[in-house]
Amino acid sequence: MISASDLKAGMTFVNGDKLIKVLEASHHKPGKGNTVMRMKLKDVRSGANFDTTYRPEEKFERAHIDSKPVQYLYTMDDTAFFMDLETFEQYEIPTAVVENELKFILENAEVKIQFFGSEVIGITLPTTVILEVVETQPSIKGATVTGSGKPATMETGLVVNVPDFIEVGQKLEIGTAEGSYLKRA
């Protein structure tokens, strides 16, 4: 069991029959009354995000999440297919569950698949990925790194704000946490 005051971003817990992932957690002390924990949470199974508050002493069952390395194969209709690198067993995940993560990975990329018991609940991305720019405005002569930047569409469909000197065809290193440009690869 874990108390609400000990929940941190990234942790997963069970609340009733729901599997909940903490996106943000902060102590909040209103002018009058008791301290509460303000939380941004995600229902892992439905993918729905919601905000709520808990009393710090409330207790929850901590979810034990296992992971294993897999290879992303392809997406067909509304399902993403992954293959275990050791047993070659295939896993199917509804694209609604991993919609954001799919913007960062190419076919044949390695990721980690997450399990709650035998249930597949999502994937874990590497901290950075290298993607190619497929569409952006032409580069501006004499542009510096400090410019306001411009949007660039990557080969996976992800749109990232990049410096003005970036051109179509360049490979960029993208941080998966914020979906932001880090540097040219």
Each domain of the chain, given as residue ranges in start order, spans 2-62, 65-124, 128-184
**128-184 architecture in CATH?**
Beta Barrel (2.40)
pLDDT classification of 143: cutoffs 50, 70, 90: low
Residue reference for tokens 């194969």: 73
Instruction: Tell the CATH topology of 2-62.
Output: SH3 type barrels. (2.30.30)
Instruction: Tell the CATH topology of 65-124.
Output: OB fold (Dihydrolipoamide Acetyltransferase, E2P) (2.40.50)
In this structure, are residues 53 and 28 in contact, taking their beta carbons and an 8 Å threshold? yes
Comparing 21-25, 67-71, 95-99, 167-171, the range with the smallest average pLDDT is 95-99
Q: With 60 as the cut, is the pLDDT of residue 145 above it?
A: no
Q: Phi and psi dihedrals of 102, rounded to 5? A: -65, -20
2-62 against 128-184: fold identical: no
Q: With 70 as the cut, is the pLDDT of residue 144 above it?
A: no
Alpha helices in the chain (DSSP H): 99-102
Question: What was the pLDDT predicted at 141?
Answer: 65
pTM beyond cutoff 0.85: no
177 Cβ neighbours under 8 A, 6+ residues apart: 127
Share of the chain above pLDDT 90, in %: 6
How far apart are alpha carbons 141 and 72 in whole angstroms? 39
How far apart are alpha carbons 53 and 28 in whole angstroms? 9
SS3 state at 4? helix
How far apart are alpha carbons 173 and 156 in whole angstroms? 13
